Structure 1
Amino acid sequence: MNYAFARSQYKKSRQAGLSGSSDPHEMITLTLEELSRCLRNLQSPTIEHDKKKKYFSNAFTAVYILQTSLDFEKGGEIAENLFKLYEYCRNQLQKAMNSDHDAKLEACENILNDIIDAWGQIK
């Protein structure tokens, strides 16, 4: 997967929601919410193939953005733990993309929702 291309496509698809926003906290909030939305939609048994591809693309891009936005020097153990959680979600997405029925997308969605709640309390 070409991450530069995926990130570019993700930015284009989310342009309306992000335009005018330079607040890093808000950008992370939107990225977390997008990842949670994609995880939720990917669990639908009736999802169309084209939509499924788009959700996977957006989800992988969101994970990439979240992982690369971590500051390990300032964030220390919290940043390391978040990286591990995002990596777990990435691995589960990879399993689901490969039609592995053991993929735990619901668990990832629950983890993300907890992170979203905690992130919302920070600001």
Structure 2
Amino acid sequence: MYTPPSLRAANAYKNVGVQSSVDGATPHQLVVLLFEGLQQAVQAASGALQRGDVAVKCAQIMRAVRFLEEGLKGGLDVERGGELAERLRSLYDYCIERLTLANLRNDGALLAEVADLIAPVAEGWKAIGRQPHPAVGQPA
């Protein structure tokens, strides 16, 4: 059975426990929310690592991986997105690998690396939403 990417993203967002309403959100807004949840999870994992709170660090890294795997990567449409979707998939896979190593090694530098890699992509998605869009049926 086919599930549209926007629905997969919404379901993943709900499943990772983010306390925000996704009902009525556009697919673009859902991606922005996924990035925000991912960034919050990485930041929380970093804080837990600094405090020596292993349980919270592990939980937040797992949460970040789920945002990447189930939400952002799961919502990619390679057929329509082409090379850009493939590059994003590669970035998300790399970030998942780095988060896993950060968890195993208790390495805050790897968490910072993921945060630095994701930030410009997340900001790009936010910027797209701030762009004025032509009305339906109007030339761009």
Taking structure 1 as the reference length, what is the TM-score of the superposition? Answer: 0.80
Q: Measured at CA, do residues 47 and 62 of structure 1 come closer, stay the same or move farther in structure 2, by a change above 3 Å?
A: farther
Mapped pair 1:74 → 2:80: yes
Q: Does residue 110 of structure 1 match 2:116?
A: yes
Aligned 1:11-22 pairs, distance under 5 A: 11=15, 13-14=17-18, 16-22=19-25
**CA shift at 1:102, angstroms?**
8.3
Could you tell me which amino acid in structure 2 is paired with residue 11 of structure 1?
N
Q: Runs in 1 of length 4+ with deviation above 4 angstroms? A: 7-10
Counterpart for residue 53 of structure 1: 58
CA contact (8 A) 1:29 1:119 kept: yes
Size of the aligned set, in residue pairs, is: 116
Larger-gyration structure (1/2): 2
Alpha-carbon distance in 1 for matches of 2:97, 2:16? 25
Aligned partners of 1:74, 1:23: CA distance in 2, in Å? 18
Identical positions, percent: 23
Q: Which residue of 2 aligns with 1:121?
A: 127
Provide the residue aligned with 1:23 in structure 2.
Answer: 26
Q: Secondary structure at the match of 2:20?
A: helix
Deviates further, 53-62 or 88-97: 53-62
Asked if 1 retains the 8 angstrom alpha-carbon contact of 2:57 and 2:103, the reply is: no
Task: Flag structure 1 segments of 5+ consecutive residues without an equivalent.
Answer: 1-6
